[in-house]
Structure 1
C-alpha cells in the first residue's frame, strides 16, 4: 500500500445540475459510457511536490497544451468499477481497494506516480456522494466509475517520463448489459495480431493496450463474431483473454482460467470468481489451455461451458468459436448452468440480495 497523503478537496458544485426529469430520461436508456454525471474529480501531481490541488468540480472539458505528453507518448492509465444501489437503499462499491492496488500496479509499469489507496477510494466516495442521485434504481443498472491519470507536461522528448500528472474520476450511469436476458457471444481467435508479450504492458490497464486491440476486434466483426480472443505472443496457440475480459473454462465442476503471466489483465471480477467458485464447492484453477484443447474438449463434451468476465458485463457466456481453421460450438450454444449460477451469486452480492462473506462491499452512503 502506498504511503498515505491527506488530500483536502476544494468543492465547487455546479450551478446547472440536471433536473430529476432529465436524469430519468437518461435512465430510460443509459447505454454504457454515453452520459455523464454533474461533477468530476481532479487532482494534480508535480515532481517534488506530490499530489495537490484536489478538486470536486462541475463536469466539463479540459484545456491542454498541444504538446502535452499524453497526446504524443500515451503515458496514461485508467480503472473501471461500479457503484450499486442495493435493495436496502445503500449505495456501495465492490472491492474498490482492489482497484486501487491495480491502479498503482499500472502506475509503476507506466512510470507514473502512485496514488495512496485511501486517497483513491476517498475520491470515489466524494464523487458518488455528490452525484448519488445519478446511481440508477432499476434492476441491473449501476453507476460506472472511471478513475484515470494522464501525463500533463507540455514537452516533446522520449528520454524521460512527464514531471506532471493529473488524476481524475468521472462517472456514467450504465444500463443492464443484457437487457433482454443473458445472450452467449461468438468469438474470433486472433492469429494475426498480438495483444501483449512478456515484459510488456499486458498486465497494466493502459489505453495503448485497448487501442492496439481495435484492429483485431474489427477483424472479429468482419468474420461475424462479437468479440476477439487473444492468444499468446510466441505460438499463437494458448488462450489469454477476450477483448477486455478474462476467460473461464468449465470442465464439469472444475474451472480453469488462464494464469496471470504478465501478459493479461488481472481482473477484479476474475479474482472474485475464483473465490466464489471455492465457496460453492467447485475446483478453481489457474493454468493454460490451447485452442486445440478448447476445441477437443467441446467436441468430446468434457468442456461444458466457457464464459468471460469483467466489470461491465459481469459474466458473459461464450456460445461459439471461429478462426482461420474453422469453428465449433461450446456445449449446446446456450448459457450454461454453472455460468449463470456464478453470475447470480456475484450480482447478488453486488446488489445486496445475497450475503457478503468476504467483506467485498464498501458502503458509500
Structure 2
C-alpha cells in the first residue's frame, strides 16, 4: 500500500509536469512570448482549488474499500467523531474543549498561512515551466524541496534522532547524483542538437540561457516554502501526534485525526481559491478571462489536474499520515528520476544520454531507495 501511494504521488507529478510543459509549448509555439501573469494565475487557480476534492475523494475510496471487504463505512463513524470534535461535544466520555472565537480565529490564521506558502510555491513552479524544459524544472524543483524539507525536519526535531548519520550519507549520495546529472546535461543537450558551439569563441550558444537561469532560480527559491509548509502542517494538522490537553484537538484517535486532516486539506483548497481568485480577477481586469484560448481550452489541463496534481496531493497526504513526513520527502527524489525517464520514453528522438548522466541517475535511484527503506524502518520501529 505504501509503495502504491508513493508511485501515485510520483507519477502524478510526472503527468502534471509533462502535460503542462506540453500545453505551454503548444500555446506559444507560434508566438515570440512567454506565459503572462494571467496565464500562470489561471493554472495556479485551477490546480490549487482542486484540493477541495481531497476529502470527498478519500471518502469515496474508503466507501469502495469497505464495500469490497463487506464492512460498514469507517468514515460514517469518523464523521460523527469529527462533528463532536468540532462542536466540543463529549460523545465518548472524553473531555473536549469548546471551540471559542479565539480558537476559530487561530485556525483561520493557520489555514491562511499554509495557503500563502502553497501559493508562492505553486506560482513559481508554473512560471518556471513556461521558461525551462520539464526535466530542468523537475531537477531544480525536486532538489530544492528535498533539501529544505529534510533539513527543517531534522532542525525542528520532527525527525527521529536515531541513525541520522545514515540518513545524511544517503542524502549526500542523492545530491552527488543530482550534481553529476546537472553537470553533464549541457553535454547531452549539445549532442541532441538543442545547443550549438559558437565557432568564434568556442563556447556554447544557448539562445534560451537566461530563460533557463531565471526559471531555475525562480523555481528553486519558490520551492523553499514547501519546507515551512511541512513543518507547520505537522504542528497544526489533526494528523500531528499532539496529545496535550490544551490543544484544539486533544486525544484524537488515528481514525479521527486522519478524517479531520483530509477535511483540513479541502479547507486549504477553499483558502487557495479565495486567495488566488481575486488575484486572477485583477490580472484579467479589462481583458478576456482567458487571454490565450489554446491554454485555457486544452484538454491537457483536465489531464494535468485530475490525473496529475490531485492524485499526487491525495497520495502525499496519506503517505504523511500512514508513514512519516520523512518518507514522504523521498517522493521529491522520485520526481527527478521519473520525469527524466518519461522524457526519454516520450521524447526519445530529441534525447541523448551520456554515460555519466546514467551514472548520476543510478546514484539518485539507488540512494533514494535505500533512504526510503531507512525511513520506513524508522517508522515501523516508532509504531512498535
Does TM, normalized by the shorter one, top 0.5? no
Greater share of strand: 1
Q: Name which one, 1 or 2, has greater alpha-carbon Rg.
A: 2
Structure in which a larger fraction of residues adopt helix: 2
TM, length-normalised to structure 2: 0.23
Highest relative contact order (Cα 8 Å, sep 6+), 1 or 2? 2
